[in-house]
Amino acid sequence: ASSADPYDVIIVGGGPGGYVAAIKAGQLGLRTAIVEGRGALGGTCLNVGCIPSKAMLHNSNLYHAAKHDFKDRGIDVSDLKLNLPQMLKNKEKAVSGLTKGVEGLIKKNKVDYVKGWASFAGPTSLNISLTEGGETQIEGKNIIIATGSEVTPFPGMEFDEKSIVSSTGALDLEKVPEKMIVIGGGVIGLEMGSVWNRLGANVQVVEFLSSIGGAGIDGEVAKSFQKILQKQGVQFKLGTKVIDAEKKDGKVYLNVEDAKSGKKEQLDADVVLVAIGRRPTVKNLNLEAIGVELDNKGRVIVDDEFNTTCKGVKCIGDATFGPMLAHKAEEEGIAAVEIIKHGHGHVNYETIPSVIYTHPEVAWVGKSSEELKKDGVNIKVGTFPFMANSRAKTVLDTDGMVKVITEAETDKILGVHIIGPNAGELLAEAVLAMEYGASSEDVARTCHAHPTMSEAIKEAMLAAHFKAIHM
């Protein structure tokens, strides 16, 4: 192909949805370009999301453990000090290493990396405002929108990323705030709230609903999660509506009211983190010009093959329907490219895992008890606490449990909910079991190594099917 020929596929956006789609397209022999304007590949996830937050979660947990937990374990440390600049530097190192790695993979798979911001000039052509200056136009037989999402601002509160911050500012605070208020008790609020709580801030989470954890979390797990976080020092103000904020004398004052009684109160903090959700990034794409329609939440409308309302243009990841998760975006990226190449591709939305990377972690796949009861499904529940798991006991990490929900008539696994050490890694087994349509008996009869935390899954499966052994 000459450089003037149209690409087989152009992907707009270099996040986990876009870059994975680009690699797959390269592997399948499609002539591919990826357009990204932020100066690095990896999107929200690698640059200001999953990766830097997990770096901070891990190291803040080690610091917290050294301070509060080591003594009980028989390890005396003296002169323990937080070196925040070094912790932030390590986070940056993880980010730059991984984003460069992605750039290497893109090159290896012969994908052209176009640095700049794209907007549609027509259904098969994009104008690119180049990072190095100037403009260019590229043509593609297929275009995939993978432009991701951005933080939803709180009306009237402007982010200065110092005292009123989004998750991006919360990943980069120069010093530990004395007092931090988090608006929103969802995933970002709890992860970033945990980080700064562990590093010494007084953290208060203000949430509109009466429970924490965001959409899809099992009610029983959410309650136990809240208790555990409270034990760690995080404070919660649930059922509370934030009205507005004002900055005065280096502090932020928040006016809030009780959602039921309407009782008003003023809270103050050094730093306020706004974490009330994210919204698709589509505004500069000139979608109106090509007839790509959005729903009432600003998400790009697609059919079950990721086709938008403009022929030849697909959309995947955070910019369209479904949970805003990196692995969901990746699966869609691959399926979209396979559909372009082979005419078919598939994502199983019933088995997309959710993980909250606090300590203990919270992880689940499938439906919650509440959702299943609402759907009128006859369920059986098996639970097993980590308190009764030998490995958890050995390592003094016994908070939490595994909860397995099955269909009563068939024993088919419908949901697995874990709160406990390494829940995110443990969950993979449950995801695989559900992907293969397993029953709780199937997993209960599978040999699990001893002593491992994974035995808690086997025991909860045994409990759902018949009876646990160690309870």
Question: Taking CB under 6 A as the criterion, which residues in 262-321 touch ligand NAI?
Answer: 275-278
Q: Which of 7, 10, 11, 13 binds ligand FAD (CB under 6 A)?
A: 13
Contacting range for ligand NAI; rule: CB under 6 A; set: 56-64, 130-138, 207-215, 446-454 = 207-215
**Is 68 designated active site?**
no
Q: Is the CB of 336 or the CB of 434 nearer to ligand FAD?
A: 336
Q: Considering only residues 234, 324, 418, 444, which one is a binding residue for ligand NAI as defined by CB under 6 A?
A: 324
Residues in Cβ contact with 56 at an 8 Å cutoff, skipping those fewer than 6 apart: 87, 91, 171, 192, 195
User: 3-state class of 305 per DSSP?
Assistant: coil
18 is in an annotated binding site: no
Which of ligand FAD, ligand NAI, none lies near 17, with the C-beta cut-off 5 to 8 A by kind?
A: ligand FAD
Subset of 228-267 contacting ligand NAI (CB under 6 A): 241-242
- What are the residues whose beta carbons fall under 8 Å from the beta carbon of 471, sequence distance 6 or more? 384, 385, 388, 459, 463
Distance CA 138, CA 245 (A): 45
Mutual orientation of helices 16-27 and 326-342 as an angle, nearest 10°?
A: 30
Beta-carbon count within 10 A of 425 CB? 14
Q: Which amino acid is at 113?
A: Y
Q: Is 288 annotated as a binding residue?
A: no
149 appears as a binding residue in the annotation = yes
Q: Which of 11, 187, 195, 267 binds ligand NAI (CB under 6 A)?
A: 187
Write the binding mask 162 to 191 for ligand FAD: x where contact by CB under 6 A, - elsewhere.
Answer: -----x--------------------x---
Minimum CB distance to ligand FAD, residue 146 (Å):
5
Return the residue of 327, 380, 412, 448 that touches ligand FAD, per CB under 6 A: 327
- Give the one entry of ligand FAD, ligand NAI, none that residue 36 binds, where binding means its C-beta sits below a cut-off of 5 to 8 angstroms depending on kind: ligand FAD
* 57 binds ligand NAI per the rule CB under 6 A: no
Among 40, 84, 209, 294, binds ligand NAI (CB under 6 A): 209
List % helix, strand, coil for the chain (3-state, nearest 5).
35, 25, 40
Distance between CA 210 and CA 223 in Å, rounded? 10
**Under 8 Å between Cβ of 35 and 9:** no
Which one, 14 or 200, has the nearer CB to ligand FAD?
Answer: 14
Distances (CA, A) of 314 to 119, 175, 282, 293, 348: 14, 43, 13, 12, 18
358 binds ligand FAD (CB under 6 A): no
Residues 6+ apart with CB under 8 A from 99: 40, 41, 42, 46, 47
Known binding residue 371? Answer is no
What residue type is assigned to position 315 of the chain? C
Among 25, 111, 245, 324, binds ligand FAD (CB under 6 A): 324
Tokens (6 digits) for 423:
């829940």
| CB-nearer residue toward ligand FAD: 14 or 415 | 14
Closest CB 236 distance from ligand NAI, rounded Å: 11
- CB atoms near residue 234 (< 10 Å): 25
- DSSP 8-class letter at 82: -
Do 124 and 140 meet the contact criterion of CB atoms below 8 Å apart?
Answer: yes
Select the residue whose beta carbon is closest to ligand NAI and give its number.
186
Cβ neighbours, 10 Å, residue 346: 11
Q: Which residues contact 436 (CB under 8 A, 6 or more apart)?
A: none
191 is annotated as contributing to ligand binding: yes
Q: How many residues bind ligand NAI (CB under 6 A)?
A: 25
**String of DSSP letters for 123-165:** TTEEEEEETTSSEEEEEEEEEEE---EEEPPPTT----SSSEE
> Would you say 318 is a known binding-site residue?
yes
According to the binding rule CB under 6 A, does residue 25 interact with ligand FAD? no
User: 92: which 2 tokens?
Assistant: 């940056």
Binding residues: 54, 147-149, 184-191, 207, 277, 318, 324-327
**Which residues contact ligand FAD (rule: CB under 6 A)?**
12-18, 35-38, 43-45, 49-50, 53, 117-118, 146-149, 167, 188, 281, 284-285, 317-318, 324-327, 329, 357
The catalytic residue positions are 450
**Binding residue numbers for FAD:** 54, 147-149, 318, 324-327
Q: Applying CB under 6 A, which residues contact ligand NAI?
A: 183-189, 191, 206-209, 214, 241-242, 275-278, 323-325, 355-357
